[in-house]
């Protein structure tokens, strides 16, 4: 799953790869320790200037389920762990409903650094971070990927479809089944959508079991 990363035009500093050039990300052979060190030291985009710390991901590195969100928020940036704010509590509830927990799944984000004021990730930030997530997926080898929210789903699947359009069916990411559902923060604002999200989780559960059979 190795990819080239296109550096944003303002990312290069003296001694770093030429701006605008495709560079081999070099993470495709890293193990967990090397990858987490690489992420902790990352200066590929301007978010490295504003972050408190990187947020690598958390959970079971041999998990059947991998949950992928958008980017750390303020609380995650402070604590260095994904989904620990209010949305995190909702994600914990969703996981509990399907007999999982944040220790049994692996949780990561498209971006490892917090965008200022929780703005959406810029395309060049997501591109610079992409191979970290790809390497995490390759290391975990989950049976099911659950993309929570539009930003995660669009980044993983490409395109600009809404969650309403992408949810409720099985997608495929390099041979791994992927289900899209609403972001827990959205479910906090729109609890009436929880039923649909529950259906998505049930679909993901079925796919994870079918894949294992």
Q: Using the rule CB under 6 A, is 87 a contact of ligand URA? A: yes
Helix (H, G, I), strand (E, B) or coil at 44: coil
> 3-state SS of 136-169?
HHHHHCCCEEEEECHHHHHHHHCCCCCHHHHCCC
Which listed range, 75-83, 98-106, 156-164, 187-195, lies at the site for ligand URA (CB under 6 A)? 75-83
**Size of the residue set binding ligand URA (CB under 6 A):** 10
Find the residue with minimal CB distance to ligand URA: 69
From CA 23, how far away is CA 29, in angstroms rounded? 15
125 sits near ligand URA (criterion: CB under 6 A): no
Binding window for ligand URA (CB under 6 A); candidates: 14-22, 65-73, 121-129, 157-165: 65-73
Q: Which two tokens stand for residue 140?
A: 């975990």
Which range touches ligand URA (CB under 6 A), out of 82-90, 123-131, 139-147, 197-205?
A: 82-90
Residue 177 touching ligand URA (CB under 6 A): no
Binding region for ligand URA (CB under 6 A) out of 25-33, 57-65, 79-87, 197-205? 79-87
| 3-class DSSP state of 33 | helix
Q: Would you state the structure tokens that stand for residue 17, as one six-digit string?
A: 């790869």
Alpha-carbon distances of 16 from 13, 20, 43, rounded to whole Å: 5, 11, 10
Residue from 56, 65, 83, 182 in contact with ligand URA (CB under 6 A) = 83
CB of 71 to ligand URA, least distance (A): 6
Closest CA to 5 of 18, 112, 157: 18
57 is a site residue for ligand URA (CB under 6 A): no
- Selected from 27, 60, 100, 109, the binder of ligand URA by CB under 6 A is 109
- The label of the residue with tokens 């290391």 reads 139
Q: Does the footprint of ligand URA cover residue 76 (CB under 6 A)?
A: yes
- Angle of helix 194-212 relative to helix 86-97, nearest 10 degrees, comes to 50
Q: Smallest distance from the beta carbon of 150 to ligand URA, in angstroms?
A: 10
| Structure tokens that stand for 75 in this block | 């609380």
Binding of ligand URA by 70 (CB under 6 A): yes
Radius of gyration of the chain (CA): 17
> How far is the C-alpha of 177 from the C-alpha of 170, rounded, in Å?
6
- The piece of 45-53, 66-74, 165-173, 199-207 that touches ligand URA (CB under 6 A) is 66-74
Given the rule CB under 6 A, which residues bind ligand URA?
69-73, 76, 82-83, 87, 109
């Amino acid at each position: 799953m190795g990819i080239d990363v296109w550096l944003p035009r303002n990312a290069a500093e003296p001694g770093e790869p030429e701006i605008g050039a495709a560079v081999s990300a070099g993470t495709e052979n890293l193990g967990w320790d090397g990858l987490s060190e690489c992420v902790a030291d990352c200066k590929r985009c301007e978010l490295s200037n504003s972050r408190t710390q990187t947020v690598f991901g958390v959970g079971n590195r041999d998990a059947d389920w991998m949950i992928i969100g958008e980017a750390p928020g303020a609380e995650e940036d402070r604590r260095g762990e994904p989904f620990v704010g209010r949305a995190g509590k909702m994600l914990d509830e969703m996981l509990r409903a399907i007999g999982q927990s944040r220790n049994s799944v692996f949780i990561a984000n498209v971006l490892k650094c917090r965008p200022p004021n929780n703005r959406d990730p810029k395309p060049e930030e997501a591109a610079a971070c992409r191979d970290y997530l790809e390497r995490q997926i390759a290391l975990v080898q989950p049976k099911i990927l659950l993309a929570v929210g539009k930003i995660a789903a669009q980044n993983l699947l490409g395109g600009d479809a809404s969650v309403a359009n992408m949810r409720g069916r099985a997608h495929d990411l390099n041979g791994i089944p992927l289900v899209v559902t609403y972001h827990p923060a959205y479910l906090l604002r729109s609890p009436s959508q929880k039923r649909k999200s529950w259906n998505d989780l049930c679909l993901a559960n079925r796919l994870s079991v079918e894949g294992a059979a």
